[in-house]
Every structure is written in C-alpha cells, then in structure tokens.
Amino acid sequence: MRIRVAECTVRYEGRLNAFLPMATRLVMVKADGCVAVHADGGAYKPLNWMNAPNTLTEDDDMWTVLNPKGEKLIIEFGEIHFETDLEMGEDPGLQKDGVELELQRLLAERPETFGVGMALIRREYPTPIGPVDLLCRDGDGTTVAIEIKRRGEIDGVEQLSRYLEFLNRDTRLAPVRGIFAAQEIKPQAKLLAADRGITTVEVDYDDLRGSDSEVMKLF
C-alpha cells in the first residue's frame, strides 16, 4: 500500500471528462494496482479511482494511470505533506455472517433462481483477489459469476467488478457476466451495477428457507 497526502489536481479522460481542482487529498495505490483519490469527507467513497488492471507512470510531479480500455487518470501534485509505502500482507477477506452463508448455500442448491437452465459450476470459485460466491453456467452456455450479500451496496458491486476483471482474463471461462444478489439492493448499487453491465437480483430469504423446509419434509 502506497499512501500520499498532497496538494493535487485530478483529471479523468474516458467515457466522460472530469476535473478536480487543486486541493489537499489522499492518494492510495493498492497492491493490486488500484489507484484511489480521497477527500477528507464523503465516507468511504473516493472522489475518483482507477481499478486494476492498469499502468501507473510517474513523471516528476505527475502520475498517469492508464487502463486497457484507454481510460486515463492524470494526477498532478503540488506540495507533498506525507508519503509512505507499507507492505500489508495478505488479507483474510471479509467474513460473511450467518445469513449470507445460508443464502449462498440455498442459492447454490437452486441456481435456477437466476434463470432457466442456470447450473452451478462451483461455490467459492477462487480468483487472485478472493473467491466469488458462485460460478455458474446459464442456459446459453455463458459463464456467470454471482456475488451474494445480505444487503446490496456499492462496495459489493465494486467487489464483483474486480472479480469479473480477473475471471474474464481466463480464456476457459470468458466471456463471464455478473449477477449481484441480495435481500435488498440500494438504488445507487443498482445504478452502478447497470453501468457495469451487471444484473441485480433481489432474493427472499424466507421463501428460500421455506423451500428448503419443504424439501426436507419429503424425506
């Protein structure tokens, strides 16, 4: 993790252009290559960011971050107040609560919840940045990565987006599309998912558990 607190301007060139004028900001470069620019406010969401994979080029007081789509983030620095580079080691990842684990189990047993012909390939399919909850194949033979949350928020969509970046590099799986599933999905998360080409599905935990109970009564 590389952290720099400095005066800077930020210019984004891509699907649209955006500019942040000179101000004091926190710039983070994570081990996976993700670059994020934060203000001292606005909760956890950065003002601008560039997900991995990308290329970071440093030229004196200017950083240029370029991704394979041709999108570019240009950060020009003024006075640097603080900088550090720290090896944080491997993170064990977010531990799901009981409801999320149970949702994952129930949906793994009922992949048809996500469409006719959907079939499970594997639960907890590994990627270099952590496992995606379910990897499936739909009725058309397309690989589908499904991330399951109790409450669907923007960070969950970002998490699935990063998984899809890696999964689509595997020629055995690509193309891979994504489904973000939760009991409740926030409007902002739905909007971001739609922008990323990710399908959102709200699931009823009680209905799934009821179906589970009915199945158990047959034996």
User: Domain spans of the chain?
Assistant: 2-85, 98-217
pTM given for the model: 0.57
pLDDT tens sequence across 105-128 = 999 999 999 999 999 999 999 998
- What is the widest separation between alpha-carbon atoms in the chain? 71
Cβ burial of 199 (10 Å; 0-12, 13-18, 19+) is middle
Class of domain 2-85: mainly beta
The per-type count for the chain, helices as H runs and strands as E runs, is 4, 12
* pLDDT tens, per residue, the chain with 219 residues: 999 999 999 999 988 889 999 999 999 999 888 999 999 887 778 999 998 889 999 998 999 999 998 999 999 999 999 999 988 877 655 555 567 888 999 999 999 999 999 999 999 999 988 999 999 999 999 999 999 998 999 999 999 999 999 999 999 999 999 999 999 999 999 999 999 999 999 999 888 887 654 444 433
Whether 2-85 shares its CATH topology with 98-217 is answered no
Strands, DSSP E only, in 138-175?
A: 143-152
Task: Name the DSSP letter for residue 26.
Answer: E
Burial class (CB in 10 A: 0-12, 13-18, 19+), 214: exposed
Domain 98-217 sits in CATH at: 3.40.1350.10
Q: What's the whole-number average pLDDT of the chain?
A: 89
